[in-house]
Amino acid sequence: MSRTTADELTDLVRRAFQRQGVRADMAQDAASMLVTTEMMGIRTHGLAKVGPYVERLRDGGVDPEADPIVTAPAPALRQVDGRNGLGPAVALRGVRAAVEAARAAGMGASFCRGSSHLGALAPQLLEAAEAGCAALFVTNSAPMIAPPGGHRPVIGNTPLGIAVPDPATGRHVILDMALSMVARSKVRQAAARGEAIPDTWATDAEGRPTTDAEAAMQGLMQAIGGAKGAHLSLCLDLLAGGLAGAAMLSEVPNANLDTGAVANVGHMFVVIDVARLMPSDAVSRRVEDARAMLRAGAAEAADPSPRLPGARAMAELADARANGVAVEATVLESLHELADG
């Protein structure tokens, strides 16, 4: 594994997308989000997504010429029509629109329709946190969870993200989680490596918990907290998909199985300008208070010691910014192939 600069990686990814006809600004925004994801150590949703996104661009599932439209139906509210563009770039438009609204009104929300898979929520949350905003973000996904009492996939894993900024240190609190036990990409990676998975992650095609990742790919994901997690995921999809005017629940196609399908994914981005609540140094003190309370509540010699969500990702990001991004040679080769042919 070698180190390279974020700028070099962003340029490679941008060129890979532009080679498929993506507008320069959209290609740059999508590349920036995927590289930041990689820098945060979320490798399942970083550079690993470039190839699948290129495939969807080639097959018609994503429109390379999309130019999202942002409207303001109310002072603190924004609507984004992604026009079937690259999800990370559409989402970034939505986040920036919500931050702009929050600057004026204290709080802002944007609802995006006509989008596609956005990758991880973490870099979008980072965008809000670095703008001094707390955030609550939701995106929807293809169904992979059965409703309580059901045996067919109707509910997505509906990723949920929360950010609380730490202006003094830049070690923002960032929670990015799917509402299935794990993201399906982790099962997919285990299957590719021939590895077993915990039997709490997924079921096989007959609805039985399984440790066989290949069998799990034919079955369903298990929701966190059983019925509570399934209902939480359903309600969040009503917000991010239903209220956005996007597809929701079983309307969302599985783009991994049909790369030519138009997904019409929905996102909801709610942000709060925390400077309207308290001075920035007071925000950082409260975050540090939370860190101290976690440490105080830890068992002696706890390994690892308790930490706030996103601590590892922020440490990885700081390392990548200081020392370059660690990337496998095969990944770099693949990016060069996608960018240059």
Residue 307 lies in a domain: no
Output the pLDDT for position 302: 64
For residue 149, pLDDT over 90 is answered with no
Of the chain, the percentage scoring pLDDT greater than 70 comes to 99
The two structure tokens encoding residue 169 = 């240190």
The answer to whether residue 334 scores a pLDDT higher than 80 is: yes
Residue at 158 is within a domain: yes
Average of per-residue pLDDT across 5-20: 98
Q: Mean pLDDT over residues 81-102, rounded?
A: 99
Structural domain total, the chain: 1
In a domain, 95, yes or no: yes
Provide the pLDDT for residue 260. 97
Q: What is the pLDDT of residues 15-73, one digit of tens each?
A: 999 999 999 999 999 999 999 999 999 999 999 999 999 999 999 999 999 999 999 99
Q: Is residue 172 part of a domain?
A: yes
Q: Considering the domain boundaries, does residue 293 fall inside one?
A: no
Instruction: At 102, give phi and psi (nearest 5°).
Output: -65, -35
pLDDT tens-digit series, residues 302-332? 667 789 999 999 999 999 999 999 999 999 9
Domain span including residue 120: 2-180+223-277+325-340
Helix boundaries (H) for the chain: 6-18, 24-39, 50-59, 87-105, 122-130, 184-193, 213-216, 227-237, 280-296, 311-323, 329-340
Angle 41-14-87 from CA coordinates, rounded to 5°: 70
Q: Is 243 among the domain residues?
A: yes
pLDDT at 300 over 70: no
Nearest partner of 220 among 259, 251, 256, 181, judged by Cα: 181
2 burial level (CB within 10 Å; 0-12, 13-18, 19+):
exposed
Rounded to whole angstroms, what are the CA distances from 91 to 29, 30, 146, 165, 283?
9, 9, 27, 19, 26
Tell me which residue has tokens 């095969």. Answer: 330
pLDDT of the residue at 306: 87
Could you tell me which of 77, 82, 108, 107 has the C-alpha nearest to residue 29? 82
Tokens of 240: 């991010």
| pLDDT for res 303 | 66
**Looking at the domain assignment, is residue 285 inside a domain?**
no
With bands split at pLDDT 50, 70 and 90, how would you rate the model's confidence at 183? confident
Q: Flag whether 227 is in a domain.
A: yes
pLDDT for 113-144, tens place per residue?
999 999 999 999 999 999 999 999 999 999 99
Residue 142 CA to residue 250 CA, distance in Å, equals 7
pLDDT at 301 (0 to 100): 61
CATH code, domain carrying 29: 3.30.1370.60
Q: How far apart are CA 180 and CA 157, in angstroms?
A: 5
3-state secondary structure of 192: helix
- Residue pair 149/134 in contact (Cβ under 8 Å)? The answer is no
